[in-house]
Amino acid sequence: MSRRWSVLVALVLMAAFAFGVNRFLASRQTHVAAASNPVEAKPAFILPGTLYLAAQGDLFSLTGGKFTDLHMPSSAGTWMQPALVPGTQNIVANVELLKGDLSESWDEGDLQYATAYMRWRALDYVVRLGRSPGDPDYIVSGDPRTAVEAEEVWTFVRRPGGTWLLSAIQQV
């Protein structure tokens, strides 16, 4: 019987010690200052290539020591998409919606969300910029003559009465 009490006391002491260590370490956390607008920042050194980052709900690129905001003007109503491979362009043409259903809609705070399921067919290929369609290295991937089918779930968001903006795309 005394062995059970010894084990129980040991477990309680271990739990109390763990809780105390956790609270001690939590009290030592520093508070991170809010990030400034990257476009206003000057990097300490210049990295080769292009780095993409998201900050404060915007998408930025860092090239040659200069940040560029990739969010297009609200009149365009869209985002620029960085090329996956520098010097290339993804072309999606002859898009045909095969099926589209509103899956769900909901409110979170002052935002409204809607999710749509879509199955579509299109020509989807990547070309090398600066090359002509007849060049052997013009097509990087895909086939400009063969359509591919895709199933995706697109989530849109807006403030009440505002414009719907694309929030997420998931492959099905």
pLDDT (tens digit, 9 = 90+) per residue, 44-64? Answer: 777 777 776 666 556 677 777
pTM (2 d.p.): 0.47
Whether the CB-CB separation of 164 and 158 falls below 8 Å is answered with yes
Whether the CB-CB separation of 146 and 121 falls below 8 Å is answered with no
Q: How far apart are CA 111 and CA 156, in angstroms?
A: 10
| More confidently predicted of 66 and 112 | 112
Greatest CA separation for the chain: 88
pLDDT (tens digit, 9 = 90+) per residue, 113-164? Answer: 999 999 989 988 888 888 888 898 899 999 989 999 999 998 888 888 888 8
Residues linked to residue 114 through DSSP beta bridges, in sequence order: 105, 156
Kindly list the domain boundaries of the chain, sorted by start residue: 1-31, 32-82, 84-172
* Class of the CATH-defined domain 84-172: alpha beta
Q: How far apart are CA 46 and CA 28, in angstroms?
A: 34
pLDDT (tens digit, 9 = 90+) per residue, 5-18? Answer: 888 888 888 988 88
Residues linked to residue 111 through DSSP beta bridges, in sequence order: 108
Q: Which two tokens mark 72?
A: 């297009």
Q: Which two tokens mark 45?
A: 């050194």
Is 50 exceeded by the pLDDT of residue 40? yes
pLDDT (tens digit, 9 = 90+) per residue, 56-108? Answer: 556 677 777 777 776 655 444 445 555 667 788 888 888 888 998 988 999 98
Strands 139-142 and 111-128: antiparallel
Is 70 exceeded by the pLDDT of residue 34? no
User: Of 19-23, 31-35, 44-48, 59-63, which has the strongest mean pLDDT?
Assistant: 19-23
